Chains A and B, each alone.
Chain A
Amino acid sequence: MSKKLLSGPYVLWMIGFTIIPLALILYYGLTDRSGAFTLANIMAIATAEHAKALWLSLGLSLASTICCLLLAYPLAMVLRAKGVGAGSFIVFIFILPMWMNFLLRTLAWQTLLEKSGVINGFLALLHLPPQNMINTPAAIILGMVYNFLPFMVLPIYNVLSKIDDNTINAATDLGASSLQTFWHILLPLSVPGIISGINMVFVPALTTFVISNLLGGSKILLIGNVIEQEFTKGSNWHLGSGLSLVLMIFILISMALIAKYDKNGEGNAF
């Protein structure tokens, strides 16, 4: 009985802040303004504008996830080799920017990348032509990678640090070169961390609208921006909810991948 009481606050929390909002989204997504059932809000994803935003979102999230993976894996390997002391210090350095507000960090990139921003000012000093960096897909990817990289590093570092040195020694002992050891031992053993990292970068990257607002300007619309605008400017909660549901399907697919590869939950850093 007492154990049930203990879970009370969490049950209330779940109902109030997860179940009810989800139910509301589901309700709005499947009805029109008069309250009648409709699939039109879902089907709206097929319109050229929305589909373009969705594909662009998927493309940019995928690109930034791959960038994060390529940057994070070697770093995690270095951290593993450093051992506990130095390794955790470097991890700390990596997490340090996360103590700053997410918006501020992204705004900082805005001032760096602007036409008359810091980087172009520096280029002018060197008598180099100014570069058009802000309001490009590349700027959005940069913002995503910068903000989400720690979420890729930590789960991969977490699984790598659990691999016993002797497991690697055993592979070398049995004749494997360092490349073969990486390919046959380290990489397969770190798959749970990679999957977890991909999920933790891909999902927020797919749904973000702040990064694309600040670094993509008004011209590049991601699906997150479209949904945001339906709620704020367009006041069409029904369409916004319908598109959110579509986005959720993509996130569920990503979650399903995790459940498949990460059976032991080893990759969960948080």
Chain B
Amino acid sequence: MHQPLIDLQHISKSFDGTMVLDDLSLTVKENSFVTLLGPSGCGKTTTLRIIGGFESPDTGSVIFDGQEITHLPPNKRQLNTVFQKYALFTHMTIADNIAFGLKIKNKPKSYIQDKIKYALKLVNLDGYENRSVDSLSGGQQQRIAIARAIVNEPRLLLLDEPLGALDLKLRQDMQYELIRLKNELGITFIYVTHDQEEALTMSDTIVVMNQGYIQQMGSPESIYNEPENAFVADFIGDSNIVPGIMLRDELVEIFGAKFACVDKGFGTNRPVDVVIRPEDIDLVAPGQGALSGIVTHLIFKGVHYEMEVTTPDGFEWLVHSTDLFPVGRQVDIHVDPFDIQIMNKPASEDEEAMGVNE
């Protein structure tokens, strides 16, 4: 198997006595688009800064393409970073910004000129060479920051919430732009964001982090469809997380109703957490589903209706459906077996943070 480009081994880091990363290990394959996803304070940016060389870990090591770079300063690393607020050099023209890394490396003038042209074309900003940074919009500045990084032909590009300051439409455009760039350049991307939609759209691999631990790592589909714990289920998309009892393999009881599922190996009569995505709930006529309830809330969301169905036990089920059920209507809930995801209950809060799930 191909050796990983980045190999983080048992990284721990604390600031002023607060543990930010706790024994984190992570490998990133060459040519992949890996997203570190999590709420603020989960340690994702610290992880990125450790890879970039702006922080050094308290313990553990950073291996880049088989070589230890844990204590190598940023200017000696074969990678580049795109910073959160672009961090362009405001006293230089666009061309000088892009040329900075190449000039530092004493590349020949003609080579630099070609590179500037190429990079500007790549980010769709040809002809902007002599503009000032201040004359550019946020999205344009973002592209220049990317251009400034990629002219150095890094093997790894680190992106720290690069789209955070942009408005929704621009953010979506830039997401496609980034995917295109990654495919054209063949550079490995490590991307940090708290936006789950961004993560799902762009990544090959998503690493969900919370409180300094990796909660789950996998493809966008597996993270979304098979969350390993309540945190992941809750953080990625909307979900209904309800207590249940695993009666036996492939049968779970929720609020007294029995649902067929596809999960096995939880033993018998074991308390579990059950995750059901709102779009996976089918509302059917009374008597045709496993659980009965009443529609208590209705919002039109454009693509679908968002409804709340309250069952007699008081739980409010979030339901997404293109079919309209007015408030007050008596309905039954039906869920297909493969749409039910079973998770172990965490025994303690610490365990919950660590994402332990054996």
Contacts and interface: CB of A to CB of B under 8 A. Distances in A.
Given A175-B101, A175-B104, A169 B91 contact: no
A180 B105 CA distance: 11
Contact of A174 (B54, B85, B91, B152): B152
A171 B73 contact: no
Interface string B44-81: 00000000111000000000000000000111000011
Contacts of A166: 83-85, 87
Q: Which of B81, B87, B148 has the most CB of A within 10 A?
A: B87
B90 interface: yes
Contact of A173 (B81, B89, B90): B81
Q: How large is the interface on B (under 10, 10 to 19, 20 to 34, 35 or more residues)?
A: 20 to 34
Interface of A is mostly: helix
Interface string A171-195: 1111111001000110011010000
B305 interface: no
Given A174-B100, A174-B104, A169 B89 contact: no
B84 to A, nearest CB: 7
A169 B81 contact: yes
A174 B148 contact: yes
Interface string B135-155: 000000000000011001000
B75 A170 contact: no
A169 B80 CA distance: 11
Contacts of A111: none
A176 B148 CA distance: 14
Q: Which of A166, A173, A185 has the most CB of B within 10 A?
A: A173
A170 to B, nearest CB: 4
Interface of B: 52-54, 73-75, 80-81, 83-85, 87-91, 100-101, 104-105, 148-149, 152
Interface of A: 164, 166-167, 169-177, 180, 184-185, 188-189, 191
16 contacts: A166-B84, A167-B88, A169-B83, A169-B87, A170-B81, A172-B75, A173-B52, A173-B74, A173-B80, A173-B81, A174-B80, A175-B75, A176-B100, A177-B75, A189-B91, A191-B91
